[in-house]
Amino acid sequence: MRKTSMSDHATTAIEEVEHGTIKSFTVIWIILLIFTGIEVLLAYEQVTPVIMLVILIGLSVIKAALIIAYFMHLKFERFSLFLTLFPMLIFCILMMLVFMPDSMRSMLMRTQ
Amino acid sequence: MTPQVNVAAAESAWTGGGSPYAVNSKKFGMWLFIISDALTFSALLMAYTYLRLATPEWPKPFHFSPSIIFSSIMTFCLLSSSLTMVMAVHSMHHGNRKATVRWILATIAGGLAFVILHATEWRNLIVNEHMSPSSNEWGEPLFGATFFGITGLHMTHVIIGCIYLSIITIAVARGKFKYEDVEVAGLYWHFVDLVWMFVFPLVYLMSAKI
């Protein structure tokens, strides 16, 4: 009886390592809340839209990475799953950025 | 070819044999959906960012109260509901269906709080600030179009998520559905949370009235 409960405990411990613990989830949640707080404070700083955009997107990307890695479990999945899904997504998003310099150009044209 | 070689080939992940991702088909399907949905949202947010950078005087109409306070509380609701969803998946993993139902109900409550706050916020903008998808008083009609387009699509996702989680709750309470079903629902919910992590700073914080 005692032996069974010990082996059960051991299995649980291994699973906890593989899937994360309640403590680790709570820590991630607190980090996400802190980052959100920083973002709200940043909104009231007087900086140009481009710099603000870069900082806010930077913080959001870190938040997204934390959510994907821990909450969505991707850190504990096989690496092949990550390789199938994310390089393509990141590449497509970066391809959309190709249009961005054009937005600045049309603003210059408008003010002239 | 000897049978032995065939078995080895079938088991190799790189030849498509065995289970190359070591996940079940539901989970992989949900991941593919999430990636395609992520592209939809990134296209919308890119279009918004483009218009914003191309417009010299983009309106900054969001007052600290109620808009920024409301949207911050909404962010808190979604983040917390993500945590309760993780707890639900965790409980289901340990076979505790009662706790799973409680945690999913907490998640739905977070989602509903988000929708109610967002609807209140929309009502405030439409009634008090006279803003609509095609016109507003700040001289940049596209502001309303992008705002309602992006937040509207996101809110639709939250509402669908609440319905999805309700179905999962009922099934889990009746002893149906397995761990993987709860986990897949969790993936969707975290994705909705993740999208808001980009919508909130881009749409709200970038347009806060200083």
pLDDT of B95-114, one tens digit each?
999 999 999 999 999 999 99
C-alpha distance from A1 to closest chain B C-alpha (Å): 20
pLDDT of A35-80, one tens digit each?
999 999 998 888 887 788 899 999 999 999 999 999 998 988 889 8
Instruction: Name the nearest CA neighbour of A55 among A67, A71, A38, A70.
Output: A38
Claim to verify: residue A35 and residue A60 sit in the same structural domain: yes
Q: How far apart are alpha carbons B71 and B68 in whole angstroms?
A: 5
Give me the interface pTM, i.e. the ipTM: 0.87
The full set of domain ranges for chain B reads 26-207
pLDDT band at residue B209, thresholds of 50, 70 and 90? confident
Query: In chain B, which residue's Cα lies nearest the Cα of A34?
Result: B76
What is the CB-side half-sphere exposure of residue B76 using CA atoms within 13 A?
Answer: 10
Claim to verify: residue A61 and residue A101 sit in the same structural domain: no
Claim to verify: residue A87 and residue A73 sit in the same structural domain: no
Claim to verify: residue A84 and residue A96 sit in the same structural domain: yes
Taking a C-beta distance cutoff of 8 angstroms, is the pair B39, A89 a contact?
Answer: yes
Q: Could you say which residues from 10 to 69 on chain A have a Cβ atom under 8 Å away from some Cβ of chain B?
A: 12, 15, 19, 22, 25-26, 29, 32-33, 36, 39-40, 42-44, 46, 49-50, 52-53, 56-57, 59-60, 63-64, 67-68
pLDDT of B166-200, one tens digit each?
999 999 999 999 999 999 999 999 999 999 999 99
Helix/strand/coil (H, E, C) string of B42-83? HHHHHHHHHHHHHCCCCCCCECHHHHHHHHHHHHHHHHHHHH
pLDDT at position A3 is: 40
Query: In chain A, which residue's Cα lies nearest the Cα of B20?
Result: A80
pLDDT at position B71 is: 94
C-alpha distance from B193 to closest chain A C-alpha (Å): 9
Claim to verify: residue A64 and residue A43 sit in the same structural domain: yes
Claim to verify: residue A19 and residue A31 sit in the same structural domain: yes
Query: What is the mean predicted confidence (pLDDT) over A17-29?
Result: 83
Q: How far apart are alpha carbons A104 and A110 in whole angstroms?
A: 10
Helix/strand/coil (H, E, C) string of chain B? CCHHHHHHHHHCHHHCCCCCCCCCHHHHHHHHHHHHHHHHHHHHHHHHHHHHHHCCCCCCCECHHHHHHHHHHHHHHHHHHHHHHHHHHHHHHCCCHHHHHHHHHHHHHHHHHHHHHHHHHHHHHHHCCCCCCCCCCCCCHHHHHHHHHHHHHHHHHHHHHHHHHHHHHHHHHCCCCCHHHHHHHHHHHHHHHHHHHHHHHHHHHHHECC
User: Which of A36, A79, A84 should we substitute to test contact with B (largest number of B Cβ atoms within 10 Å)?
Assistant: A36
- The domain of A62 spans 1-77
Query: Does position A7 have pLDDT exceeding 80, yes or no?
Result: no
SS3 A46: coil
SS3 A86: helix
pLDDT band at residue B210, thresholds of 50, 70 and 90? confident
CATH class, B26-207 region: mainly alpha
Claim to verify: residue A32 and residue A67 sit in the same structural domain: yes
Q: Report the domain count for chain A.
A: 2
Claim to verify: residue A19 and residue A70 sit in the same structural domain: yes
Residue B31 to residue A67, Cβ atoms within 8 A: no
Claim to verify: residue A48 and residue A96 sit in the same structural domain: no
pLDDT at position A112 is: 53
Claim to verify: residue A63 and residue A89 sit in the same structural domain: no
Query: In chain B, which residue's Cα lies nearest the Cα of A108?
Result: B54
Handedness of CA A19, A22, A25, A27 (dihedral sign): negative
More confident residue, B22 or B163: B163
Length of chain A in terms of residues written = 112
pLDDT at position A18 is: 59
pLDDT at position B121 is: 93
Claim to verify: residue A40 and residue A57 sit in the same structural domain: yes
Claim to verify: residue A72 and residue A83 sit in the same structural domain: no
Q: How far apart are alpha carbons A60 and B199 in whole angstroms?
A: 10
